[in-house]
């Protein structure tokens, strides 16, 4: 599979298998199945542990509002681990998956699917790839949507040498389009920038596959002699593996994380949501989301900023004194968009 190549995680584990056609536990793109109790499918089903991680054994600071958070970021933080979901991209016009009436899964009737999630099911794709190829024409990064204030803020965190890594559930690629370096983004549910054969695993030029899909020249077939399997972008379908690099957080990042920042996700899908539970109890966890999510709020160092995500980001940027820096990034994005429009 396109998402199974690459090195194994530092824990030595192979990639985690997610659900099959007709059996759809959490883990693939668009999934929001709530798995109660122990996290699903993590290291053989074992629960996460927050012991042994974190830089300090001292109690976490008490953060009561955006001003406290800003002071903490400026004075004490150099490694922010960020977790993001669909909620950071809805201001860009991208629908989430399950909001009643407006979510992606509520607007797939024209494809005559047996159930909405089938459009991202690898077994269904092998039977009939046309629904996914058609939907992908709108989903490809940079065609219909642009980064918003939240993405620009994440880029600013990087420029201020505060960003450790972004773990994103999104497949829209807006983090990259915002200018955040590729090595600072872990696309947990895969990416449109690469493509692979579903039969032999051969890598294919992502841009060529994109153009074929946008032009309606589908199915896209593997050019490996004697294979002729179907080619798709390397986004994680139900029935495929998470990228092996997903597991690097436990050894590569969490021991050095100063702050966990969670935005636009309900933290209902494991193993992604387990990252927030694996963070040391000495590390502050901050949630910027309309509603509560996961276990954030259960520890002394937790902070939940409710309400509109863009308003919260603007408040935080003001408290940080980064308004001019953010404005400069936004102006650069506008210039990039205009240049792209002129080229088209």
Instruction: Tell me the whole-structure pTM to 2 decimals.
Output: 0.81
Is 227 a known ligand-binding residue?
A: yes
Q: What is the pLDDT of residue 178?
A: 94
Please count the other Cβ atoms lying within 10 Å of the Cβ belonging to residue 56.
11
Q: Is 301 annotated as a binding residue?
A: no
Yes or no: say if 258 and 76 are a contact pair by the CB < 8 Å rule.
Answer: yes
pLDDT value at position 285?
A: 98
Evaluate whether residue 12 is within a structural domain.
no
User: Is residue 265 marked as binding?
Assistant: yes
Instruction: Judge whether 172 is annotated as a binding position.
Output: yes
Per-residue confidence (pLDDT) for residue 273, from 0 to 100 = 95
CATH number of the domain enclosing 254:
3.40.50.1220
User: Is 87 within any annotated ligand binding site?
Assistant: yes
In the prediction, which pLDDT does 269 show?
86
Going across the sheet that includes 231-235, the strands are 203-204, 190-197, 231-235
pLDDT for 116 equals 87
pLDDT of residue 110: 82
- The pLDDT of residue 64: 96
pLDDT score recorded for residue 100: 67
Confirm whether 44 is domain-assigned: no
**Chain centroid, CA 306 distance in Å:** 20
**Is residue 28 situated within a structural domain?**
no
In a domain, 31, yes or no: no
Domain that holds residue 130: 66-343
pLDDT given for residue 55 in this prediction:
55
Contact criterion met (CB below 8 Å) for 254 and 142: no
Mind spelling out the 3-state secondary structure of 102-155? CCHHHHCHHHCCCCHHHHHEHHHHHHCCHHHHHHHHHHCCCCCCCCCHHHHHHH
Q: Is 8 annotated as a binding residue?
A: no
- Which pLDDT does position 39 carry in this prediction? 31
Quick check: is 256 in a domain? Answer: yes
User: Does some domain include residue 21?
Assistant: no
Query: In this structure, is residue 26 part of a structural domain?
Result: no
Per-10-residue mean pLDDT for the chain, 344 residues long?
Answer: 34 36 44 33 35 60 96 97 96 77 70 89 94 88 87 98 97 93 96 93 93 92 92 92 90 95 94 95 96 94 96 98 97 76 57
Q: How far is CA 318 from CA 141, 274, 305, 322, 326, in A?
A: 29, 31, 15, 6, 10
- Residue 257: which of 77, 64, 72 has the closest Cα? 77
Looking at the structure of the chain, the number of domains it has is 1
Active site residues: 189
pLDDT of residue 174: 94
pLDDT computed for residue 239 by the predictor: 85
Structural domain includes residue 13: no
pLDDT (0 to 100) of residue 72: 97
């Amino acid at each position: 599979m396109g998402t199974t190549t690459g090195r194994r995680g530092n824990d030595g584990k192979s990639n985690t298998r997610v659900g099959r056609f007709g059996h759809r536990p959490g883990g693939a793109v668009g999934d929001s199945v709530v798995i109660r109790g122990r996290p699903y499918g993590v290291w053989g089903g074992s629960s996460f542990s927050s012991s042994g991680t974190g830089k300090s054994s001292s109690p976490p600071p008490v953060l009561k509002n955006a001003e406290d958070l800003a002071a903490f970021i400026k004075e004490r933080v150099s490694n922010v681990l960020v977790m993001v979901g669909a909620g950071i991209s809805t201001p860009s016009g991208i629908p989430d998956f399950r909001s009643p009436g407006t979510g992606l899964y509520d607007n797939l009737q024209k494809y005559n699917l047996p159930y909405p999630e089938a459009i991202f099911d690898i077994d269904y794709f092998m039977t009939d790839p046309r629904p996914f190829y058609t939907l992908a024409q709108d989903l490809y990064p940079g065609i219909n949507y642009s980064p918003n204030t939240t993405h620009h803020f994440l880029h600013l965190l990087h420029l201020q040498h505060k960003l450790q890594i972004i773990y994103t559930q999104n497949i829209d690629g807006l983090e990259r389009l915002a200018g955040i370096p590729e090595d600072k983004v872990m696309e947990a549910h895969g990416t449109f920038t690469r493509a692979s054969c579903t039969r032999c695993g051969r890598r294919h030029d992502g841009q060529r596959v994109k153009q074929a899909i946008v032009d309606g020249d589908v199915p896209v077939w593997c050019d490996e002699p004697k294979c002729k399997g179907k080619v798709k972008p390397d986004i994680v379908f139900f029935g495929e593996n998470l990228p092996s690099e997903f597991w690097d957080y436990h050894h590569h990042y969490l021991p050095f994380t100063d702050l966990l920042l969670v935005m636009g996700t309900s933290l209902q899908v494991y193993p992604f949501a387990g990252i927030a539970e694996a963070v040391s109890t000495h590390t502050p966890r901050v949630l910027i989301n309309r509603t509560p999510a996961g276990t954030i709020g259960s520890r002394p160092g937790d902070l939940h900023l409710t309400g509109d995500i863009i308003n919260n980001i603007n408040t935080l940027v003001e408290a940080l004194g980064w308004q001019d820096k953010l404005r400069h990034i936004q102006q650069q994005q506008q210039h990039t968009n205009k240049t792209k429009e002129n080229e088209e």
